Structure 1
Amino acid sequence: MTDVSALSRYADDPVALPVTGGCTCGQLRYSIGAQPVIALHCHCNNCQKLSGTGHGSFMILPRVAATIEGKASDWTYIADSGGTSTRYFCPECGTAVFAKLSLHPDGIVVTASSLDDRSQFRPSVALFTGEARAWDKIDPELRTFPGGLD
């Protein structure tokens, strides 16, 4: 498995804690009292469809430090990685807020758009670039992977 800590920007540039966020209507909220593990863009087909654009943008944090308030609807599917991904949405406004991945059970994956302070999102990698659309340009400063991080 790729050493994610070597790819992350957060070890040298931590964010203010807790990391907080939630849905558009405010019914579903999270607070995470630990530094992010990594932030990334994912260009897999599922993220393209779920985001309604060319990629999904996510921050991964330690699940043990997360507190969730409010009700969430969820949907589980087989991800391009081969594991399962469970996406959690607000049942009121439909905002995608976070996910849990079977291949990374210790993490909680929050959507960058759900962050209260979006400046905390500092992507360092782009995943599944082999599935990227030509019209969705990848930042040349990001480390790219044609698949996942395995």
Structure 2
Amino acid sequence: MLNLTLPAEGGCRCGRARLRISARPLLTMACHCTGCQQMSSSAYSLSAAIPAEGFEITKGEPVIGGLHGASKHYFCGYCMSWMFTRPEGLDWFVNLPPTMLDDPAWFTPFIETWTSEKLPWADTPAVHSYAALPAFEEYEGLVAEYARSQA
């Protein structure tokens, strides 16, 4: 397993929007829902839940895209790369696709969600799998288990 070196920087495909993280992920995930499949143009999306105080935009002004719903999906306004998501009511973290970082080699999904919608061949090395989402009360234990696995 490769280690994440902090701070870590990254940005969109065209480079007009840049970001920096200075905190380790609380949890790493792969989401197989059809919405993520469509938005990522892939079999699933990847994300790392970064504590909000450890996340900053250093260049550019990402714009809201996607469905413009409760959770806000932010994109580069020029190349339209999906850069990060701020889930509604959960302001204490930002979901960052690890591929937005300049070096995403450290990333492995710890949980996978919405496996009920996954493509039959789309397997991940996630430790925990959920047909939909984990129950809200499960997250504290998952975050603690993930932290132990990274120590």
CA distance in 1, matches of 2:112, 2:99: 17
Q: How far does the alpha carbon of each residue in 1:51-83 deviate from its partner, in whole angstroms, 9 at most, with x for none?
A: 11211011110011211031211136487xxxx
Identity level (%): 26
Alignment pair present for 1:96 and 2:86: no
1:21-50 CA-partner distances (Å, limit 9, x unpaired): 110111111111111111110011210110
- Give the aligned partner of residue 22 of structure 2: 33
Quick one: distance in 2 between partners of 1:103 and 1:144? 24
Which position in structure 1 is the counterpart of 2:11? 22
Task: Name the residue aligned to 2:145.
Answer: none
TM-score for both structures, normalised by structure 1? 0.79
Structure 1: gaps (5+ residues): 1-8
Q: Which runs of 4 or more aligned residues in structure 1 lie more than 6 Å from their structure 2 counterparts after TM superposition?
A: none
The structure with more strand, counted as a fraction of residues: 1
Distance 2:125 2:5 in 1: 27
Q: Could you give the per-residue CA deviations for residues 79-134 of structure 1, whole angstroms, max 9, x where no partner exists?
A: 7xxxx221111111111111100143211111122111111212111111111121
Matched, 1:143 2:131: no
CA RMSD of aligned residues (A): 2.1
3-state SS of paired residue (2:71): strand
Name the CA distance, whole Å, in 1 between partners of 2:91 and 2:42.
Answer: 27
Higher helix share: 2
What does 1:50-65 correspond to in 2, within 5 Å?
50-65=39-54
Q: CA deviation at 1:140?
A: 5.2
- Give unmatched runs, 5+ long, in structure 2: 137-151
